[in-house]
Structure 1
Amino acid sequence: MTLFGVDIQTIYLTTLIISGCITVLYIFFGDVLDAVGEGIAFLNPTLILAFIVFLSSSGYILELVTPFSSLFILFLSISFALIMDVLLNFFVLIPLSSAEESLAYTEESLKGRVGKIIISIPIDGFGEIVIDSKSGMISKPAASYENTPISEGTDVLVLEIEQGVLYVIPYDLDSEMTISN
């Protein structure tokens, strides 16, 4: 089949090469286009480019390999591209967008966590605590909840957070192990 005097295989291949090049450029300069897509959520440039790549690649391969009519191949390629686009969106793009947010923490999420004192807490004073998290070590200022001194190296439990300061009490990890076992 020809379209405007050009073979349909050539159109598929040209579209694949051009959309592939635009995709590579989008990888490098995509932050500029992300601002455009903020207002219109369904016009995600990643999904549009992926749809065009899937459509043109499957159309080109099916034109080369199968004896089907070009119109049937076009409809088959469109349905394949739609399915692949939906799978790409739900199994890659949505988890990636939420994974970026999951690396951050809120101060409220630190309540109930166990950390280690790295700078001793004096009476009526402040020290420093580190807490292990998925994204690394979190270091925050700490004060004693019971207004008692807590020495360096002590495991502590975070009870409250006020103005960025974690209020902690000493915590024995061994007693928790014997209770849970």
Structure 2
Amino acid sequence: MARAVTEKVDLVPKLLELFCNHGIDGVSIRMVGETTGLGKGSIYYFFPSGKSDMVDFVVLSAEQFLNEKLSLLTNNKFNGKKGIEEFLGTFLHDTVFLSYIHFMSSLALSHHRTQYLGKLNLYYKDLTMKLAKVISKGGYSHSKAWNISENVMVSIYGSYLFSCSLADKSYFHNRIKKLNKILLENLKSN
């Protein structure tokens, strides 16, 4: 039976899963081969420098994914409360987004963070900044919108981390729903 041709982009979900489950340092070339079904030669064909190329590629994929998601927030379709509701709903229904959040968070906590500091800062700052723009469309000053957005992001990441430590996905979903309710009740109407 002929083997299907693998594209490099097709490897991202499996690499993401490995890095999220085992950390960057916990993943070996052998594990990548077992998970992807690729031989060592094919792995090095796609990632000549090995694991560092894999991490770079997943970081690039995370950036592209985030930009696609954030374009929904900034396309002027969703403003104020509706934008917040749509944004928070993304975290409830998009497990790939959460996997990237998990990966970037584990990267930020690893000794590899110094290599990726610029990309990590861009990832988190960009997310907070774009959410702040949506909030400011609801009539808030830039600084007030930034403060709200920053608190939302800290709540999301903190809730996700706590949910992981409890091994309870429902905790995260309940916290996001509660955060959405608090925000919708307290933000200006528009």
TM-score normalised by structure 1 residue count: 0.27
Q: Which has the higher contact order (CA 8 A, sep 6+)?
A: 2
- Structure showing greater Rg: 1
From the two aligned structures, give the one with the greater strand fraction.
Answer: 1
From the two aligned structures, give the one with the greater helix fraction.
Answer: 2
